[in-house]
């Protein structure tokens, strides 16, 4: 059955399909972190809808709330009109926002994908500042629409747009993200953060740089698709200082990091910074499509109709989102993610002592990455080894054979990425490690 489903869909679907190719599972049922495929095989899901399912598949509270909403006669879809479900969701979200945005931000509901919320953030920043330029980072991923892809990449992250001509929808200045393993300055993540921030400030303040003051800086606190690269707290604080001092809006893209994933409700909270515009999607809709920006109220310079879209107010997404936000907060699942993440990283580091292909294990909370390299290759001047995408693909496939769904990412597709649901149990976490160990052992044979 699995083979038939996969073959038929390969005929029907776009050549751009991705997970269907790298993870040929055909899931038919799921609960928590467990997925059953059409062939009856059981899997542990360390992808959870690309980080969407904070509470895992079919969490009973989410299912009950959805069933109640479905039976209540509530309109399934009401464009961006106000519904009781939207009111409840908005109140819950506002209560959970970071810093000065809490109970104070303006919310702008978007077409329900992270990429459209990024578009909204970029448009709002231009509108509110009257400036056009944006500072973005190497290795960033913000989405596939033209504006969002113009602030992503370069490299794999912009592969989609490269063939369609220049993605630059606005003047974008790219700064090095403080990535320790392949450090752009050869000095390690902390010092790279200082240098990157210094470069940012000199672009703004030194007229001979020819750059000037942008409308916004957009960043991920932990780069996800870019290979699970956490930005140092001191760097984030410095970027916040520079942007505040020069009237530049700081857009923090929490599409992947938000809702407890990194061990804080929002990843930016650990560094104690508050963005001017926060972008959220994925887990905020509890597994249903939802995306929005939350921003400083004085930035609310939109005119009615400035950034619209048909599917901005899906009732069921509001319902699932509200339950998810409340449950993550009440059950302290961010704290749980922090603890479980430590456990998984410690286990992976132990595996790294036996498997030199694992050069670095990093991440925050349940956003975990393992840098996979070719240990036989020559290290570069900084002592880092080249990535090994072929090994990474083979390991992903071997993990799948051992019943483990996980994803790759990173600049060269050679970072193994784990994004399990925050409700993963301790036993499941151990089982994840055993399965990776078995996959590695099999590969080494
Ligand atoms: N921003 C970040 C940080 C992301 O990780 C993603 C998706 N991986 C996006 C934006 C785009 O979201 P979507 O795929 O829903 O458009």
pLDDT by residue (tens digit) across 289-316?
A: 999 999 999 999 999 999 999 999 899 9
CA of 167 to the centre of ligand 1 (A): 17
Please tell me whether residues 251 and 196 are part of one structural domain.
Answer: yes
How far apart (Å, rounded) are the C-alpha atoms in residues 390 and 3? 24
pLDDT at 17: 82
Give bridge partners of residue 334 from the DSSP assignment.
Answer: none
What whole-number distance in Å separates Cα of residue 332 and Cα of residue 390?
38
- Shared domain check, 430 and 283: no
Q: How far apart are CA 341 and CA 344, in angstroms?
A: 5
Residue written as token pair 């508050």: 274
Residue 87: partners with Cβ closer than 8 Å, 6 or more residues away: none
Strands (DSSP E) found in 285-346: 292-295
Residue 282 CA to ligand 1 center (angstroms) comes to 8
Angle made by CA atoms 246, 249, 254, in degrees to the nearest 5? 140
| Among 280, 237, 234, CA closest to 261 | 280
Please report, for the domain that includes residue 396, its CATH number.
Answer: 3.90.1150.10
Angle value at C-alpha 388, between 382 and 391, nearest 5 degrees:
150
Query: CB 269: neighbour CB atoms within 10 A?
Result: 18
Does the ipTM surpass 0.95? Answer: yes
Residue nearest atom 5 of ligand 1, based on CA coordinates: 256
Residues forming beta bridges with residue 106, ordered by sequence position: 295
User: Is there an atom of ligand 1 within 6 Å of 255 CB?
Assistant: yes
Choosing from 16, 51, 114 the residue with most ligand 1 atoms within 8 A of its CB, the one to mutate for a pocket test is: 114
In a domain, 64, yes or no: no
d(CA 278, CA 292): 9
Say how many domains are in the chain.
Answer: 2
Is residue 401 assigned to a domain? yes
Q: What is the DSSP letter of 38?
A: T
CA 352 to centroid of ligand 1, rounded, Å: 29
The reply to whether 194 and 260 lie within a common domain is yes
Considering the domain architecture, whether residues 309 and 339 belong to the same structural domain is answered as no
Contacts of 393 (CB under 8 A, 6+ apart): 22, 408, 413
Q: What would the pLDDT profile of 413-425 be if each residue is shown by its tens digit?
A: 999 999 999 999 9
- pLDDT at position 176: 96
For residues 33 and 428, the answer to whether their CB atoms sit within 8 Å is yes
Q: Give the pLDDT confidence score for residue 161 in this predicted structure.
A: 43
pLDDT value of position 168: 63
3-class DSSP state for residue 162? helix
Domain assignment of residue 69, yes or no: no
Does a structural domain hold residue 346?
yes
Cα 71 to ligand 1 centre (Å):
32
Task: Report the C-alpha gap between 35 and 305 in whole angstroms.
Answer: 41
220 lines ligand 1 (CB under 6 A): yes
Token pair 């059981």 is found at 42
**Does residue 377 sit in the same domain as residue 228?**
no
Are 350 and 209 within one domain? no
Among left, alpha and beta (phi > 0; psi -120 to 50; other), residue 178 is beta
Q: Per the domain annotation, does 67 fall within a domain? A: no
> Which of 299, 330, 361 is the C-terminal boundary of a domain?
330
Q: What is the pLDDT of residue 155?
A: 60
Dihedrals phi, psi of 386, to nearest 5 degrees: -65, 150
HEC string of 172-239 equals EEEECCCCCCCCCCCCCHHHHHHHHHHHHHHHHHCHHHCCCCCCEEEECCEECCCCCEECCHHHHHHH
Please give the residue range of the domain that contains residue 172: 74-330
DSSP secondary structure letter of residue 303: P
Is residue 111 included in any domain, yes or no?
A: yes
- The predicted pLDDT at position 18 comes to 86
Q: Are 63 and 70 in contact (CB under 8 A)?
A: no
Give me ligand 1 centre to Cα 133, in Å. 21
- Does 293 lie in the same domain as 337? no
9 and 116 within one domain: no
Tell me the C-alpha to C-alpha distance, in Å, between residue 127 and each of 152, 246, 263, 306.
21, 17, 34, 10
Asked whether residue 337 falls in the same domain as residue 357, the answer is yes
- Residue ranges of the alpha helices (H) in 13-46? 19-22
For residue 254, give the ligand 1 atom closest to its CA: 3
For residues 15 and 122, membership in a common domain is answered with no
Spacing, Cα 356 to ligand 1 middle (Å): 31
CATH code, domain carrying 137: 3.40.640.10
pLDDT in tens, the chain (445 residues): 778 888 888 888 888 888 888 888 999 999 999 999 998 999 999 999 999 999 999 999 999 999 999 999 999 999 999 999 999 999 999 999 999 999 999 999 999 999 999 999 999 999 999 999 999 999 999 999 999 999 998 665 445 444 555 556 668 999 999 999 998 888 999 999 999 999 999 999 999 999 999 999 999 999 999 999 999 999 999 999 999 999 999 999 999 999 999 999 999 999 999 999 999 999 999 999 999 999 999 999 999 999 999 999 899 999 999 999 999 999 999 999 999 999 999 999 999 999 999 999 999 999 999 999 999 999 988 889 999 999 999 999 999 999 999 999 998 899 999 999 999 999 999 999 999 999 999 854 4
Contact 135, 218 (CB under 8 A): yes
Atom in ligand 1 nearest the alpha carbon of residue 225? 5
Last residue of a domain, one of 290, 309, 330: 330
> Which protein residue's CA is at the shortest distance from atom 1 of ligand 1?
142
Q: Do 339 and 306 have their domain in common?
A: no
Length of the chain: 445
What ligand 1 atom has the least distance to the C-alpha of 143? 11
- The answer to whether residue 352 is domain-embedded is yes
Indicate whether residue 321 lines ligand 1 (CB < 6 A): no
In short, whether 256's Cβ falls inside 6 Å of ligand 1 is yes
Task: Please say which residue of 297, 330, 363 terminates a domain.
Answer: 330
65 part of a folded domain: no
Q: Among 370, 308, 300, which residue's Cα sits nearest to residue 107?
A: 300
Residue 313 shares a structural domain with residue 429: no
Phi, psi torsion values for 35, nearest 5 degrees: -130, 140
* Ligand 1 in reach of 281 Cβ (< 6 A): yes
């Amino acid at each position: 059955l699995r083979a038939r489903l996969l073959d038929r869909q390969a005929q029907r679907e776009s050549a751009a399909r991705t997970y269907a190719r790298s993870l040929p599972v055909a899931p038919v049922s799921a609960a928590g972190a467990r997925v059953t495929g059409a062939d009856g095989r059981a899997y542990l899901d360390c992808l959870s809808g690309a980080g969407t399912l904070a509470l895992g598949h079919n969490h009973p509270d989410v299912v009950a709330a959805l069933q109640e909403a479905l039976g209540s006669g509530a309109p399934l879809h009401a464009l961006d009109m106000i519904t009781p479900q939207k009111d409840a969701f908005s109140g819950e979200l506002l209560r959970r926002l970071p810093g000065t945005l809490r109970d104070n931000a303006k919310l702008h509901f978007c077409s329900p994908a992270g990429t459209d919320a990024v578009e909204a953030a970029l448009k709002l920043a231009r509108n509110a500042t009257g400036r056009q330029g944006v500072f973005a980072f190497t290795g960033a991923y913000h989405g596939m629409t033209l504006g969002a892809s113009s602030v992503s990449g370069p490299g794999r992250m912009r592969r989609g747009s490269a063939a369609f001509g220049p993605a630059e929808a606005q003047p974008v200045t790219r700064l090095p993200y403080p990535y320790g393993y392949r450090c752009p300055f050869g000095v390690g993540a902390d010092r790279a953060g200082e240098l990157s921030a210094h470069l940012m400030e000199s672009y703004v303040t030194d007229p001979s740089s020819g750059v000037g003051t942008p409308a916004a800086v957009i960043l991920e606190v932990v780069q996800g698709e870019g290979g699970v690269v956490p930005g140092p707290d001191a760097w984030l604080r410095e970027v916040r200082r520079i942007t505040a001092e020069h009237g530049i809006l700081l857009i923090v893209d929490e599409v992947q990091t938000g809702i407890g994933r990194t061990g804080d409700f929002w990843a930016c909270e650990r560094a104690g910074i508050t963005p001017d515009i926060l972008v959220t999607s994925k887990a905020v809709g509890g597994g249903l499509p939802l995306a929005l920006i939350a921003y400083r109220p004085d930035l609310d310079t939109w005119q009615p109709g400035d950034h619209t879209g048909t599917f901005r107010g899906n009732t069921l997404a509001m319902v699932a989102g509200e339950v998810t936000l409340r449950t993550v907060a009440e059950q302290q699942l961010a704290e749980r993610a922090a603890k479980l993440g430590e456990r998984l990283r410690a286990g992976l580091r132990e595996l790294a002592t036996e498997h030199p292909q694992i050069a670095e294990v990093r991440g925050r909370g349940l956003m975990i990455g393992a840098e996979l390299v070719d240990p036989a290759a020559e290290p570069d001047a900084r002592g880092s080894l080249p990535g090994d995408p072929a090994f990474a693909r083979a390991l992903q496939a071997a993990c799948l054979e051992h019943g483990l769904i996980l994803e790759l990412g990173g600049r060269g597709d050679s970072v193994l990425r784990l994004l399990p649901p925050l409700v993963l149990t301790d036993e499941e976490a151990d089982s994840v490690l055993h399965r990776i160990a078995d996959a590695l052992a099999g590969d080494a044979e």
